[in-house]
Structure 1
């Protein structure tokens, strides 16, 4: 599986405010770039925190891109995927709508009633790991469902976990012209963090592109070489 992480952050590296409220960091050109990335993917993954905070649909918006996917024999929108260890995704979340297939990745410790509610709402529940979702194992299961090109859209806890597991192949970051601040505001890679410099993920800068009033940084994260 090829894993592409895409995110938008402020100049000071924040994804949103300390209240975890949605903030307009990028503009129309970057939204279109993100939509194009979705259209090129088999699945779009977010963490449950993103679902609870933003209730995204994660669909392809552009009609031409949707039509092109259908002409190629693919669903108009790629599968929506949530990393949700404790099955906290609300059964009425937008991500569970009928616009595309939805997979919820849970751990063995998820409440059985919550898992059943998600299944009843139309989700395919993938169980992997104890306590927290075992991402490598879950990704193998997703590959069995045809997900070979995975786009990850956040949040910071999930992105850190992916880097920690050595699963990231490509990283694109839009850096917008705003300063958010706040020591408790979410960043691109939250979680426990790395303490050993030798464990820091090594990135290779491939491209810098000016877009709207910010820049898009594209990195090779090297997971395929590990």
Structure 2
């Protein structure tokens, strides 16, 4: 099921603290960075915080710029993004500023938490999500029921930690402030636990007065049939590669990427690459990895179209090439239609060989785009 694009936003000291242990909030961002945050808020559909942030900071979470609110309204959107709070217990202050400023408010909670929040008179749309809170369920509700496509998460540390650990964060915007806290009782941004393998990808650094903005994207694939935010990134890249294919009226245009379990890109390819009129995308990519690469055993192949199960132009179809290479996870956007091979079922071949096949249909239209000219669409 499609999820929102989840953007984590936080400011920390040089030693990784969100605040000190004093009674007053420690100001980490600069005035210019507050303006940047306001701009990001104005760009999203919803802003989310955990219960701890509401209790500790009593935030309003508004778009402060009247000009930015006017631009949202001119585009047919509410002046303020939806404000979302997450609390398992529902034990929140009904007088908190969060509930009484801005536009729409939603509280995502448990069944028991919903009863408690209603008894307290929390001024929000209270949504019970079951006996316990699950982040994937919460994000699915935001996307499917409330139309949230882009979500900004502003705290706190536990929320950021859980979303990163569960592979649900698409982007991390981290502001580094020139301060040292050093207090073991102060809140830290990230807690202990099992995080994604490998390195995050640094996509931007920006000096903003005396702080530095660092933007990172996750890279590590999901495991089994569990989808991570990085899976969506890599499949989108495969769809982009499909647009590089030389046109053909007798074959699909497909892109493929092979990614190790730590997020390292091993190879990429696309149909008819290098002037070969019959080479397939997965075949072209796997040919660049080398058959002895031990990382293939834990790798994921991303293909904009389901790998082929039968073909006349080569001895082995791409589904078999993937299995023979040792890969046991494939993520694709689109099942192969009957245009050229009736009853094709590359996913079935892969599954029979012990591979997990994940279909992300929200990328189907992007995968189909370079193939619009073909019949049977």
TM-score (norm 1): 0.90
Match of 2:230 in 1: 225
Does structure 2 retain, via aligned residues, the 8 Å contact 1:128–1:135? Answer: no
Match of 1:135 in 2: 135
Match of 1:172 in 2: 173
Q: How far apart are 1:128 and its partner, in Å?
A: 2.0
Superposed CA offset, 1:2-59 (max 9, x none): 0000100011110001347411111111000100110001000011111011111111
CA distance in 2, matches of 1:53, 1:158: 14
- Among 29, 36, 40, the alignment partner of 1:37 is 40
Moved segments of 4+, more than 6 Å: none
CA distance in 2, matches of 1:77, 1:185: 31
Alignment size in residue pairs: 219
CA distance in 2, matches of 1:162, 1:61: 27
Question: Residue 181 of structure 1: SS of its match in structure 2?
Answer: coil
1:12 aligns with 2:15: yes
List gaps (5 residues or longer) in structure 2: 220-227, 232-377
CA distance in 2, matches of 1:203, 1:40: 24
1:50 aligns with 2:53: yes
- Among 204, 208, 232, the alignment partner of 1:207 is 204
Q: How far apart are 1:110 and its partner, in Å?
A: 2.0
Does structure 2 retain, via aligned residues, the 8 Å contact 1:21–1:53? Answer: no
Does structure 2 retain, via aligned residues, the 8 Å contact 1:126–1:141? Answer: no
Match of 1:194 in 2: 193
Match of 1:216 in 2: 213
Q: How far apart are 1:130 and its partner, in Å?
A: 3.0
Does structure 2 retain, via aligned residues, the 8 Å contact 1:127–1:138? Answer: no
CA distance in 2, matches of 1:194, 1:46: 21
- Among 115, 118, 132, the alignment partner of 2:117 is 115
Does structure 2 retain, via aligned residues, the 8 Å contact 1:82–1:105? Answer: yes
Where relative contact order (Cα < 8 A, 6+ residues apart) is larger, the structure is: 1
Q: How far apart are 1:159 and its partner, in Å?
A: 0.6
CA distance in 2, matches of 1:167, 1:130: 21
1:96 aligns with 2:99: yes
CA distance in 2, matches of 1:104, 1:125: 5
Q: How far apart are 1:105 and its partner, in Å?
A: 1.2
My pick for the range that moved more, 148-157 or 178-187, is: 178-187
CA distance in 1, matches of 2:181, 2:56: 17
Match of 1:65 in 2: 68
Does structure 2 retain, via aligned residues, the 8 Å contact 1:163–1:201? Answer: no
Match of 2:370 in 1: none
Instruction: Give the 3 Å change call, closer, same or farther, for CA 209–123 of structure 1 in structure 2.
Output: same
CA distance in 1, matches of 2:8, 2:142: 17
CA distance in 1, matches of 2:198, 2:209: 29
Does structure 2 retain, via aligned residues, the 8 Å contact 1:20–1:186? Answer: no
Does structure 2 retain, via aligned residues, the 8 Å contact 1:3–1:167? Answer: yes
RMSD of aligned residue pairs (Cα, Å): 1.8
Question: Residue 113 of structure 2: SS of its match in structure 1?
Answer: coil
Does structure 2 retain, via aligned residues, the 8 Å contact 1:177–1:213? Answer: yes
My pick for the range that moved more, 12-21 or 53-62, is: 12-21
Query: Which one has a bigger Cα radius of gyration?
Result: 2
Match of 2:273 in 1: none
Instruction: Give the 3 Å change call, closer, same or farther, for CA 129–221 of structure 1 in structure 2.
Output: farther
Question: Residue 86 of structure 1: SS of its match in structure 2?
Answer: coil
CA distance in 1, matches of 2:91, 2:197: 31
1:80 aligns with 2:68: no
CA distance in 2, matches of 1:38, 1:111: 27
